[in-house]
Amino acid sequence: MTNERQGDLVARDRAHLWHPYTQHATEAAPLPVASASGSILRLEDGREVIDAISSWWATLHGHGHPQLVAAMRNQVETLDHVLFAGTTHEPAVALAEGLLEVVPAGLTRVFYSDNGSTAVEVALKMVRQTWCHSGEPQRRIFLCLDGAYHGDTFGSMAVGDPDPFFLPFEPMLFEARRVPAQAEAIHQALEELGDRCAGVIFEPLVQGAAGMQMQTVAFVQELREQCDRFGIPLIADEVMTGFGRTGSLFACGKAEISPDILCLAKGLTGGSFPLSATLTSERFFNAFLSEDRTRAFFHGHTFTANPIGCAVGLASLEVCRREDTPGRLENIGSTIHASLARGLANNPRVENLRRMGGIAAMDLVPPGGMERGYLSSLQPALRAAALERGVLLRPLGNVLYALPPASTTVDQCERIAEVMIELVALCDEKA
């Protein structure tokens, strides 16, 4: 492709498009991506960039995995789409069966939708309506954690931390109780809420958007115990952590707990197609069974259980098993983390270098006067500097992290770590 064509695409984009999480007044031009394979994005000008963040935590086995591509191709030629009310199809049933074999014990039902925020909405609505059906309609307050991110729709925003993304909407969000990720604070809040509490929602082991904040297994187990003690359901949002990111297929599995509800998206299709799922135990499903038709779960989306998404989801699950995706991600994370630890030992610019499975992260101490947090002005400069060096990174404010797909080679891991170390040095220059 010529540079002229490339300029064209960016100009056409600039004329008409509105991008997610983008300040159009100040951000650099979008990258024109022509194609992708494995861990590499190819730009229209021929440059190659390592996708070190799995295209927003979605791409699992690498871009264009042959088995996933084949599954989509076969399915689109057989059954592209059909409504899911009053019909069923092989890909939807087979994926549900496949998922239920590998998720933590006790989950028996799969409700499909098409993005992570919606998987969370569905979970919240199922829990709320279940309380209504079981004669406790006063239970409507969800407990969530500081820094939580569960998506951008109104319900998922309500159980997220409003600062900084959701402040304009805060007065419109339903009531939730947010507490620090700390056992005593949670216990106290549950005591206070008493029978007004509907349930607890959290991101097990790693809070992604909060800045890759990591929890201990003991914390996850404590949360499970407290929910049991107070008789309330535990919703695990594994939209990011699911499918091997923590080095186990699921974070809940790694922590040896079963949630009452499990939310999956991003990696569900290997990151190649919009599909999500909300998995529940039979107790919730049964609470909706009635001769009374108004007690059904009145929620659904046009593309619920889209056959292409389900077919590629099933293929992705097979690849996870055959290629040991969690094990590969664990190795990738440990390679990057080891290089970072070597290159950044005793570096005063770096705090809390950490890792969980395939996720390696650190907090940068911003140069004098610059603020921390998501809107830290460090972020755009770091992103641009990484890109110049051939690596796609998207720091969460002053949190620098890598979360690459399972296709990432040892050389690519080393390059990612090298660039991250260079970014730390850049902060020194700015100081």
Ligand X SMILES: *Cc1c(COP(=O)(O)O)cnc(C)c1O
The distance from CA 39 to its chain's CA centroid, rounded to whole angstroms, is 18
* CB 338 to ligand X: min, Å: 26
Q: Given candidates 149, 166, 284, 374, which one binds ligand X under the rule CB under 6 A?
A: 149
Lay out the site mask for ligand X across 264-303 (x = CB under 6 A, - = otherwise): -x--------------------------------------
Amino acid in position 373: G
Please list every residue from 223 through 262 that binds ligand X, using CB under 6 A.
237, 239-240
> Are 362 and 251 within 8 A, CB to CB?
no
* CB 155 to ligand X: min, Å: 11
* CB 117 to ligand X: min, Å: 3
Residue in 134, 111, 152 with CA at minimum distance from that of residue 235: 111
* CB 251 to ligand X: min, Å: 10
Could you say which of 51, 266, 374, 401 is catalytic?
266
Terminal CA-CA length for the chain? 40
* CB 428 to ligand X: min, Å: 31
Neighbours of 303 (CB within 10 A): 17
Neighbours of 256 (CB within 10 A): 12
Nearer to ligand X, 366 or 404 (CB): 404
* CB 277 to ligand X: min, Å: 12
* CB 86 to ligand X: min, Å: 27
> Are 160 and 170 within 8 A, CB to CB?
no
Angle at 245 between CA 353 and CA 233, to 5 degrees: 105
* 266 included as an active-site residue: yes
Could you say which of 112, 114, 149, 260 is catalytic?
149
Q: Given candidates 59, 75, 117, 407, which one binds ligand X under the rule CB under 6 A?
A: 117
Phi and psi dihedrals of 42, rounded to 5?
-100, 125
Q: Would you count residue 116 as binding ligand X (CB under 6 A)?
A: yes
Query: Two tokens at 114?
Result: 């098409």
As a whole number of angstroms, the distance between CA 374 and CA 372 comes to 7
Count of residues that interact with ligand X, criterion CB under 6 A: 13
The length of the chain is 431
Please list every residue from 319 through 338 that binds ligand X, using CB under 6 A.
none
Nearer to ligand X, 56 or 418 (CB): 56
Please list every residue from 37 through 66 that binds ligand X, using CB under 6 A.
none
* CB 114 to ligand X: min, Å: 8
> Are 115 and 152 within 8 A, CB to CB?
no
Region of 43-51, 146-154, 243-251, 254-262 interacting with ligand X (CB under 6 A): 146-154
Region of 27-35, 100-108, 147-155, 293-301 interacting with ligand X (CB under 6 A): 147-155
* 237 included as an active-site residue: yes
Q: What is the dihedral of CA 68, 69, 73, 78, to 10 degrees?
A: 0
Nearer to ligand X, 115 or 269 (CB): 115
Nearer to ligand X, 22 or 35 (CB): 22
Radius of gyration of the chain (CA): 22
As a whole number of angstroms, the distance between CA 59 and CA 273 comes to 10
Q: Would you count residue 151 as binding ligand X (CB under 6 A)?
A: yes
Region of 101-109, 144-152, 248-256, 351-359 interacting with ligand X (CB under 6 A): 144-152
Burial annotation 208-238 (CB, 10 A radius, 16+ → b, else e): bbbbbbbbeeebbebbbebbeebebbbbbbb
SS3 of 325, please?
A: helix
Alpha-helix residue ranges (DSSP H) falling in 194-259: 217-230, 251-254
- Which secondary structure element, helix H or strand E, spans residue 358, and what is its range? none
As a whole number of angstroms, the distance between CA 187 and CA 221 comes to 13
Region of 6-14, 85-93, 143-151, 188-196 interacting with ligand X (CB under 6 A): 143-151
Q: Would you count residue 203 as binding ligand X (CB under 6 A)?
A: yes
Could you say which of 237, 260, 363, 401 is catalytic?
237
Residue of closest CB approach to ligand X: 116
Active site residues: 21, 149, 237, 266
Binding site for ligand X (CB under 6 A): 115-117, 120, 149-151, 203, 208, 237, 239-240, 265
